Amino acid sequence: MVYDNACPPVAAPLLRRYRQYLLLERGFSANTLDAYLRDLDKLLGYYAAEGIDFRRVTLDELHTFVATLMDLGISARSISRILSGVHAFYRFLELEGEVETDPTELLESPQHGEHLPDVLSVGEIDSLIAAIDMEKAEGQRDRAILEMLYSCGLRVSELCGLRLGDLFLEEGFIHVHGKGKKERLVPVSGRATDELTAWFEQRAAITPKRGHEDYVFLSVRRGSALSRITVFHIVKMLCLKTGLRATISPHTFRHSFATHLLEGGANLRAIQEMLGHESINTTQIYMHLDRSHLRQEILEHHPRNLPAQ
């Protein structure tokens, strides 16, 4: 979640100098100045809530911030505007000697307008899952996470918020709590069910932190519910390990889920319901394929539900 709270106190003196820099050296108007500071507040509030020092933020953490904005449905144009302020702020920090290097140097803004998101092939998804080190304590948990992201098209926030009471595996579906307190039922593949079942065998040996007993996915070491940052980190590390493109995030599995369903012939309205989109216009982004092949039964068209060849 992106927080719009006030900037952390540690940043206040620096922000005063930054304001002077924008006003005097960059020659910004009052309106532009206020817009830059409001947008910067989103970044500083976000990292303050995540316990991350903005002076030590990495490119991967900045990618996570961008992906979180996208997950919240922020438009590409708005994200680009926010990132303009972020770029300016870190250039200022570098000039002031507050950071050694500018972490935003390789940070790109999303393209404006409607465009297709990154989509993984089934083979690439299998490669990411195969790269998980099953000798590690969290290996089975991470396999279950990736399968759930891909098989159910979940937002990362929905995955982290899953409770044991939301699972109806014998009936073949899960209860998802989406954005805006909207709820939906999503079919779950047999493969995802198998990975969850194997994870629950290991989860039984973990002592959950008080108040976290009902969360499906826990930290193996702390027993607390997983954060979105942890899931982003899992995906990023697997991408580095397999050599896949760096722009992949947990949200990429959601895009891949929708695109593969459409490629297989699923009905767009059914995909809309599975994704939890309010408007079918939001789902039109996936309609780059032949519409004549759309059909109703969604579970017949996801790769994870097709019989093995």
* Sign of the C-alpha dihedral computed for residues 185, 191, 192 and 196 taken in this order: positive
State the catalytic residue, choosing from 179, 191, 209, 212: 179
According to DSSP, the residues that pair with 184 across neighbouring strands are 176
Q: Which of 143, 155, 236, 255 is catalytic?
A: 155
Token code pair at residue 26:
């960059």
- Give catalytic status of residue 179 as yes or no: yes
Catalytic residue among 143, 286, 301, 304: 286
CA-to-CA dists, residue 66 to 22, 46, 76, 86, 104, angstroms: 23, 11, 10, 11, 12
251 is catalytic: yes
Residues 232, 235, 237, 243: is their CA dihedral positive or negative?
negative
The residue annotated as part of the active site, out of 254, 255, 302, 304, is 254
Q: Measure the CA–CA gap between 97 and 181, rounded to whole angstroms.
A: 44
The per-residue DSSP string of 93-162 comes to HHHTTSSSS-TTTTPPPPPSSS-PPP---HHHHHHHHHTS-TTSTTHHHHHHHHHHHHHH---HHHHHT-
Q: Which of 42, 203, 236, 251 is catalytic?
A: 251
Q: Is 236 assigned a catalytic role?
A: no
**Could you confirm whether 155 is annotated as catalytic?**
yes
- Catalytic (active site) residue 215: no
277 is catalytic: yes
Q: Distance (Å, rounded) from C-alpha 245 to C-alpha 27?
A: 38
Catalytic pick among 255, 260, 277, 302: 277
Residue numbers annotated as active site: 155, 179, 251, 254, 277, 286
